[in-house]
Copies of this chain bind each other. A is one copy, B any other.
Amino acid sequence: MATKKAAATRERLSSRTGSPGTGSRGAANQRADALRNRAKILAGAVTAIRKNPDASVADIAAEAGVGRQTLYGHFRTRPELIDAALLESLERAEDVLSEISLDGDARDAFQRLVASSWVFVDQSRAVLAAAQKELSPGRIRELHEKAEARMRGLLERGQAEGAFRSDLPVSWLLTTTHVVLNGAAEEVRTGKLDPDDAPWFIDAILLPAFTHDAHSEQGR
């Protein structure tokens, strides 16, 4: 019967009840430093997990420069923390990506989108991997929806206009884009690729691959 304090604090802080829907984190009456710490924790989670995919909650708290209890005050469980971190990460990407014009030549639009995307892919891939261990696949897909839909839509339009080859399903083009982006991110992380060169390298692979060649090789 003396267990009210922590619970009450958490309730005040989190203000996130019910279903894990999209946002609904109406920060009603949080104190300024509480919000600041919440942000620090989220940022710390991303960088800590990038260093070590299996980072413990203690590691994350340390990385954020905050006590473990404080962290638990904001996020009840580890999955909840990971979920929030991934959400944050993707939302920040969405802020930038949603501004990009997808009009005009599909190939040019694709280049623009890729150039802006690959950095976020790099930042999110670690926390994404962590999330895949603790979150439901449905939740994962839900969080990715917007970003994936944008790229898929562009690829479909490109196919319809003849800018991209149509002998391969969009899903495969999408997957290919995905893995090449990730590959470039990994190469940058291990120092084998200059970040500034990355967009060019990616385009150099993807554009020829996605463009229908008259003298295609697969005729054998």
| Partner-B contacts on A (CB < 8 A) | 54, 107, 133, 167-168, 171-172, 175-176, 178-180, 182-184, 186-187, 192-193, 200-201, 203-209, 211, 213, 216-218
Q: Chain A's interface: helix, strand, loop or mixed, by majority?
A: helix
In the assembled complex, which residues on chain B have CB atoms less than 8 Å from the CB atom of A175?
Answer: 183-184, 186-187
In the complex, residue of chain B having the shortest beta-carbon distance to the beta carbon of A203: B218
Q: Known interface pairs A171-B192, A192-B171, A213-B213. Does A204 touch B218 (Cβ–Cβ under 8 Å)?
A: yes
Complex alpha-carbon distance, A216 and B186, angstroms: 26
Q: In the assembled complex, which residues on chain B have CB atoms less than 8 Å from the CB atom of A179?
A: 179-180, 182-183
Q: How far is the CA of A187 from the CA of B107 in the complex (A)?
A: 25
Q: Which residues of B contact A176 (CB under 8 A)?
A: 180, 183, 205
Please indicate the chain B residues that have their CB under 8 angstroms from the CB of A204 in the complex. 167-168, 209, 218
Contact: B172 with A193, CB < 8 Å? Answer: yes
Residues of B within 8 A of A211 (CB): 208, 217
**CB-CB < 8 A to A213: which residues of B?**
208, 213
Contacts of A207 in B (CB 8 A): 217-218
Which 5 residue pairs of A and B lie closest in terms of their CB atoms, listed nearest first?
A179-B183, A209-B209, A179-B179, A207-B217, A205-B209
A-B contact pairs, 23 of them (CB 8 A): A54-B133, A107-B217, A172-B187, A172-B201, A175-B184, A176-B183, A178-B183, A179-B179, A179-B180, A179-B182, A179-B183, A180-B180, A200-B218, A204-B218, A205-B209, A206-B209, A207-B217, A207-B218, A208-B209, A208-B211, A208-B213, A208-B217, A213-B213
